[in-house]
Amino acid sequence: MQTPLRMEWSSVYTIKQAQPDNTCIDVEMVLLAVLMENGDLVLWKFVLPFTNGADVVFYDIVESGVTRPSDLAWWEYESSDRRMSGLIVGSEVGPVKIMPVSLSGVKGYFTLRHPVILWKECDEIAVENIKCVPMVHPIQKSRCSLIVASRGCYVFWCLLMISPAGLNVHNSHVAGLHSLPVVSLAVSQQGVAVYTCSIDGWIKKLTPTFTENTLIFKQEDMLRPENLTGRRIHGIAVSHNGAFIALASTQGMVGGFHPINRTYHVHLVTLKTPEMAAELLLQSPTQNLYKMADLLNLVRWQILKNKCIPASLLEELDQKIQEVDSPYLWRLKLFLVRILYQSLQSPPTDHRWKPTHEESKVFVRDEEEEDEKDPAQEEGEPEEVKHEANPEEQKAEVQAWINAVESHLMREHMKKVLGVVYLNTWVAQNTSIPTCGLVEYLSKDGNDRDSEVLIGHIKNKMNKQTFLERCSLCQAVVPFTGIQTSDL
């Protein structure tokens, strides 16, 4: 009987699976690596999509030979046609190594021939918080892997690069960071930065900078929130784009005494300003709002607070739309306008947990306050009502703005659908595709040259009678979808 110490998921792999008719199909799978107390690595295979326990099968067992193992992480390297995978194992006595993982049947993956020793000294300093980050070497223009881990008060780092001569290993330690042991380590994926935290709550930021053959780390002290003074920190985590850092701490002392029941708190600290977040959103290489959610939250908070979209952000966004006109920029603009509309909403005045005046049996009111009430306030009510009418006009303008952006996105999506159906595919003779609502909607705007060209291509691809017959099917098909033709 053994005790599992750590578990880590691999990335998604594609394998070939034979069918009863001797054909092969691509199947996706993930591996779960379990580190046992004797150093063995047990691999379990999960076929995707995962439905029940029958889909989990034993994959392999690897004897690492590490005594007193402490931590585990996946090493996955990918560069052009070279892809490798392995498991990084740390020890409580000091050594760190990468164990080969045989990925038989996985397309394009190679296997390390022997274990790779990253650190061999048995100095009795435990290896914890192992992280592996894929990077691109800006000087040598090749992919590499940065491995970082905490070892007492130090941060161990190792740079792995594969060259025609083989696997190159560069390692060292970053000293002088903390006076107490590092309890947690986190790495931001976008704009790689390493954050370390000690027991006393001090957080350090390490930014790697490449030289010709090695790395240097720029050290920065992060501001420690005042409410964390006197509390023990147990761990930190960083959002995907480095907008927030989360800290898990104890409750701390209450009235100079330790509480009987220990409770834990989670604190969120912003690492970027809304202006920096907006700049990163406009320069997003992924073009995906979902992956930029942490940055969006900073901009959202700024709009809700100020009840307006920053003029500089809106101006730069409109300029980029004129230059690129990508759907991502339009969706970002729609998000900003919707948040602006939300900021103009008045807070709810009716509380469901409070009884109404009709339900109340007794309504107590201070008579002295009622006598001291200035009569001029009652006379000024019409002026207040007039002042409250301005936000309604502003809300109407923002709603019209939202409708305009939504209409543009809807038109672009319609043109994309029609273009894929009629311009990039062959339409069979008896194929009927409802297009009446789409064509009518796109034809309303006489200034949209792209729509005119698209509709002209569709009409030329089929004769007029066939075009009208297929369009007439929209009247019978659209109601079944729950969409009205007028809405299209």
Copy the structure tokens of residue 121: 């000294």
**pLDDT for residue 228:** 78
**pLDDT for residue 354:** 64
Angle at 25 between CA 19 and CA 26, to 5 degrees: 140
Exposure string of 99-129, with b = 16+ CB inside 10 Å and e = fewer, is bbbebeebeebeebeebbebbeeeeebbbbb
Rounded to whole angstroms, the Cα distance separating 324 from 286 reads: 15
**Within 10 A of 142 (CB to CB), how many other CB atoms are there?**
13
**pLDDT for residue 423:** 55
**pLDDT for residue 479:** 34
How far, CA to CA in Å, does 399 sit from each of 71, 307, 392, 402, 442? 53, 15, 10, 5, 22
Rounded to whole angstroms, the Cα distance separating 314 from 307 reads: 14
Beta-bridged to residue 106, according to DSSP, are 15
**pLDDT for residue 64:** 92
To the question of pTM greater than 0.85 for the whole model, the response is: no
Rounded to whole angstroms, the Cα distance separating 140 from 212 reads: 8
Q: Going residue by residue through the chain (488 aa), what tens digit of pLDDT does each one get?
A: 689 999 999 999 888 878 888 888 888 889 999 999 999 999 999 988 888 777 789 999 999 999 899 999 999 988 776 788 899 999 999 999 999 998 877 777 788 889 999 999 998 999 999 999 998 888 888 888 999 999 999 999 999 988 777 788 899 999 988 989 999 999 987 778 999 998 877 899 999 998 877 889 999 988 777 777 778 888 999 998 889 999 998 888 877 888 888 888 898 889 999 999 999 999 888 888 998 999 999 999 999 999 999 999 999 999 999 998 888 999 999 999 999 999 888 776 666 666 555 444 444 444 444 444 454 444 444 333 333 447 788 888 888 889 888 888 877 777 676 665 555 555 555 555 555 566 666 666 666 666 666 666 665 655 544 544 444 433 333 333 333 333 33
**Within 10 A of 410 (CB to CB), how many other CB atoms are there?**
14
Cis, peptide link before residue 49, omega less than 30° from 0: yes
Taken in order 290, 292, 293, 297, the sign of the CA dihedral is: negative
**Within 10 A of 159 (CB to CB), how many other CB atoms are there?**
20
User: What's the one-letter identity of residue 80?
Assistant: S
Do β-strands 82-91 and 109-110 pair in parallel, antiparallel, or remain unpaired?
Answer: parallel
Rounded to whole angstroms, the Cα distance separating 52 from 46 reads: 10
Rounded to whole angstroms, the Cα distance separating 268 from 457 reads: 55
SS3 letters across 284-317: CCCCCCHHHHHHHHHHHHHHHHHCCCCHHHHHHH
